[in-house]
C-alpha cells in the first residue's frame, strides 16, 4: 500500500478551511444517535474544513453538546424519531447555501418508509456520496428502484456494506456473502454503479475493473460503531480531495483505498495499546493522529 500517502490532500502554508471542503452527514434516529455522532467526530478528524450534521430536529441539542465543531442541520422528523421525507427541502436549501462537497448517509438512519423516500430524493441531488448501514438496508428493500437512481447519477458513490448488508442488497444468503466475497463486491459495484468497500478481514475495495485487499485492520474493529467511523472518515477525506483539486487521478476508488487503510491502521494502533477487548469505536478515532503520522512516513 505504498501509494496510499499519495492520495492524501496536500497541505500548504497559508491554507484556510475553505480549501479542504465541506462534508454533510445525514444520520441518526431515536435510539441510534450515537452512530451519527461517531460519523461526525470521525469526519472532523479527517482534515476536512467543515462538517455539517443533519439529524432529526429533537436531537439537535445533543449534537451541539457532543460535537461542538460541527454545524448542525435540524431536520423534520417522523413520529418515531427518524428523518422525514419533508427534510429534503431543508437539505436542498442548505446545499444551495453551503455547497457541500460530499455527503455521507446511513449511520443510525432507521428503515422508516418516509426515511427511505428521503434517501431517494437525496441521492437524486447527485452529490458524491458515501452510503452505509440503514441507507444500504433501505436500498435493499427496493433494489430495482435504487439501481435506476444510482445509474442515472453523474457523481460517484462509495458503498460500505458488512456481510449482512451485502446479503440483503443482493438478495442472497449470508453464507453466500461470506463465502464468495469478491464476487459479491463486484456484483454490488455493478448493480449500483459504485465503488464498494466490503468490510471484513480483509476488507475488499472494488469498482467496475479494479480490486484491492486492504491489509490493515483486525479483530479490534469487530464492534458496533466501527462502520460509522469509517463512513465519516471517507466522507471527510473525499470532501478534501474534491474541494482542493490538488490531486490528479485520485477519485472515489483511491479515496476508498485510503480511507479503508487509514481506518485499519488506526484500529491496529488502538488494538496494540488497548487490546482487542477494551477498545471502542471512539478509541479508533482517537488514534487517527498516529495513523496519519504512520502513513505519511511511508
Residue 151 grid cell: 445509474
User: 155 and 126 in contact (C-beta within 8 Å)?
Assistant: yes
Q: Strand 50-56 relative to strand 71-75: parallel, antiparallel, unpaired?
A: parallel
**Vertex 36: Cα angle to 80 and 76 (nearest 5):** 40
pTM: 0.97
What string of pLDDT tens digits covers the 298 residues of the chain?
A: 778 989 999 999 999 999 999 999 999 999 999 999 999 999 999 999 999 999 999 999 999 999 999 999 999 999 999 999 999 999 999 999 999 999 999 999 999 999 999 999 999 999 999 999 999 999 999 999 999 999 999 999 999 999 999 999 999 999 999 999 999 999 999 999 999 999 999 999 999 999 999 999 999 999 999 999 999 999 999 999 999 999 999 999 999 999 999 999 999 999 999 999 999 999 999 999 999 999 987 5
Task: Give the pLDDT score at 298.
Answer: 56
Neighbours of 13 (CB within 10 A): 4
- Helices 226-244 and 252-278 pack at an angle, to 10 degrees, of 150
Structural domains for the chain: 18-260 (3.40.1190.20)
Task: Give the pLDDT score at 173.
Answer: 98
Give the chain's radius of gyration (CA, Å): 18
- Residues 236 and 137: their CA atoms lie apart, in Å, by 23
Phi and psi at residue 8, in whole multiples of 5°? -75, 135
Residue 218 grid cell: 483486525
Amino acid at each position: 500500500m505504498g501509494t496510499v500517502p499519495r492520495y492524501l490532500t496536500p497541505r500548504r502554508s497559508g491554507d484556510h478551511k475553505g480549501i479542504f471542503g465541506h462534508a454533510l452527514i445525514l444520520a441518526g434516529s431515536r435510539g441510534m444517535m450515537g452512530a451519527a455522532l461517531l460519523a461526525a467526530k470521525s469526519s472532523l478528524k479527517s482534515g476536512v474544513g467543515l462538517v455539517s450534521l443533519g439529524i432529526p430536529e429533537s436531537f439537535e441539542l445533543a449534537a451541539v453538546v457532543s460535537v461542538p465543531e460541527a454545524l448542525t442541520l435540524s431536520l423534520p422528523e417522523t413520529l418515531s424519531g427518524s428523518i422525514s421525507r419533508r427534510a429534503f427541502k431543508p437539505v436542498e436549501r442548505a446545499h444551495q447555501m453551503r455547497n457541500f462537497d460530499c455527503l455521507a448517509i446511513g449511520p443510525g438512519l432507521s428503515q422508516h418508509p418516509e426515511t427511505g423516500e428521503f434517501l431517494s430524493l437525496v441521492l437524486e441531488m447527485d452529490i458524491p456520496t458515501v452510503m452505509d448501514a440503514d441507507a444500504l438496508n433501505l436500498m435493499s428493500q427496493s433494489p430495482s428502484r435504487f439501481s435506476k437512481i444510482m445509474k442515472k447519477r453523474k457523481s460517484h458513490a462509495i458503498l460500505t456494506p458488512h456481510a449482512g448488508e451485502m446479503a440483503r442488497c443482493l438478495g442472497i444468503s449470508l453464507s453466500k456473502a461470506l463465502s464468495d466475497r469478491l464476487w459479491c463486491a463486484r456484483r454490488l459495484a455493478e448493480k449500483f454503479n459504485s465503488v464498494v468497500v466490503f468490510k471484513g478481514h480483509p476488507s475488499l475495495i472494488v469498482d467496475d475493473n479494479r480490486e484491492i485487499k486492504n491489509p490493515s485492520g483486525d479483530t479490534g474493529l469487530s464492534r458496533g460503531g466501527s462502520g460509522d467511523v469509517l463512513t465519516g472518515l471517507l466522507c471527510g477525506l473525499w470532501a478534501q480531495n474534491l474541494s482542493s483539486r490538488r490531486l490528479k487521478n485520485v477519485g472515489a476508488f483511491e479515496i476508498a483505498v485510503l480511507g479503508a487503510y487509514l481506518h485499519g491502521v488506526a484500529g491496529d494502533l488502538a488494538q496494540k495499546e488497548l487490546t482487542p477487548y477494551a477498545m471502542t469505536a471512539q478509541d479508533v478515532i482517537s488514534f487517527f493522529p498516529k495513523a496519519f503520522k504512520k502513513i505519511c512516513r511511508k
